[in-house]
Amino acid sequence: MKLLTLSVLSTSLLLASPLVKQANEAGLKAIPSDEDQLMKLIDNPNNPITDKKVELGKKLFFDPRLSKSNIISCNTCHNLATGGIDGVSAAVGHNWAANPHHLNSPTVYNAVFFTSQFWDGRDPDLEKQAQGPIQAHPEMAATKEHVVNTVTSMPEYVSEFKAAYGDKVEITFEKVTDTIATFERVLVTPSRYDEYLNGDENAMSASEKEGLKTFIDMGCVSCHDGVALGGNMNTFEITGKYIHGDIGDFKGNKEGLVKVPTLRNIAETAPYFHNGAIWSLKDAIVEMGRIQLGADISDKDAASIEAFFGALTGTKPDISYPQLPARTATTPKPDMN
């Protein structure tokens, strides 16, 4: 029995090594297991990661009082308990308004690896991205003044900003969103797939490896590449026009293209596509084959690719639920209208 196991193991070792090579050549990259290497990848020289900023950014990320209504936080739509998303087709925000373009909330996990943010890729990084939803009317619907007045009304927040940025810090809207972005930068979820690419041949099962090979061979990797298996500006595709008709009026970027989403934690982030039109991961795989690759992906191949996607479900950072500062007399009141 022991010999048999060993023999299976060494066969898998022999088979797997070329696959890792193929994956690397195809542009797939692991999340580095080395902490310094990872930090290099996720840090922003213009907004460097520090422990104090991460902790403060976490509070702000979870604080619903940044919204006009006081009941919507970043975490409402990018829920860290459910894969960094809200699990509804179109995001619902202030006044229960659905996103007018019927856009689905993208996950915040691993968004640090994207080379552009939003479904039309209009913003370059998380710092810029964080400014959008807080102000967007169907989302948190707050003014910059509301955010600054809210944060500066609570002495605990002011102290934490001073501790993070120095006593002379000016608490601007951009300082608040930069701090939220710093927290988001550490929301990285290494998975068995990374262990596999980083050299542990046994981290993925035989069927998952087979799925990875199918994924590369069929050409999925031509868009879903890099560390995030997606999220790169250069790989926009014209999915918008095809998936279940044109729900909403979203037209993509200037060229009518939509950003390719990450596949990390994809098993946890239904519904799929920019309009959240498809709930089944297998259906989404088949639909992508049809639209993007002009291929009829067989049931067997779709199942194989789906098996591989299971290895992309990563370990989430431990997050202690924050205790937020108490409001004071000068904290802006909620406005539900």
Residue 281 near residue 270 (C-beta atoms within 8 A): yes
State the nearest-atom distance from the C-beta of 323 to its own copies, in Å: 6
Residues that bind its own copies (CB under 8 A): 62-65, 69-71, 76, 79-83, 86-89, 92, 95-96, 98, 267-268, 270, 279-280, 313, 316, 318-324, 326-327, 329, 333-334, 336
Q: Which is nearer to its own copies, 138 or 226 (CB)?
A: 138
Residue among 109, 128, 122, 118 at smallest CA distance from 44: 128
- Give the SS3 label for residue 30: coil
Rounded Cα distance between 63 and 198, Å, is 37
- Give the SS3 label for residue 223: coil
Q: Which is nearer to its own copies, 59 or 224 (CB)?
A: 59
Rounded Cα distance between 180 and 42, Å, is 14
Rounded Cα distance between 205 and 203, Å, is 7
Q: Which is nearer to its own copies, 253 or 280 (CB)?
A: 280
State the nearest-atom distance from the C-beta of 168 to its own copies, in Å: 29
Q: Which is nearer to its own copies, 105 or 239 (CB)?
A: 105
Rounded Cα distance between 211 and 19, Å, is 11
State the nearest-atom distance from the C-beta of 335 to its own copies, in Å: 10
For 156, residues 6+ apart whose C-beta sits below 8 A from its C-beta are 325, 326
State the nearest-atom distance from the C-beta of 170 to its own copies, in Å: 26
Is-catalytic flag, 268? no
The single residue listed with the structure tokens 């373009």 is: 101
If one counts every other C-beta atom within 10 angstroms of the C-beta of residue 250, the result is: 18
For 274, residues 6+ apart whose C-beta sits below 8 A from its C-beta are 103, 104, 119, 239, 240, 250, 258, 259, 261
Q: Which is nearer to its own copies, 27 or 87 (CB)?
A: 87
State the nearest-atom distance from the C-beta of 248 to its own copies, in Å: 14
| Inter-helix orientation angle 51-62/155-165, to 10° | 150
State the nearest-atom distance from the C-beta of 232 to its own copies, in Å: 25
Q: Which is nearer to its own copies, 64 or 219 (CB)?
A: 64
Cα–Cα distance list, 320 to 163, 215, 251, 305 (Å): 20, 36, 39, 34
Residue among 42, 57, 322, 43 at smallest CA distance from 163: 57
For 220, residues 6+ apart whose C-beta sits below 8 A from its C-beta are 288, 293, 305
Among the listed residues 139, 160, 268, 287, the single catalytic one is 139
Active site (catalytic) residues: 139
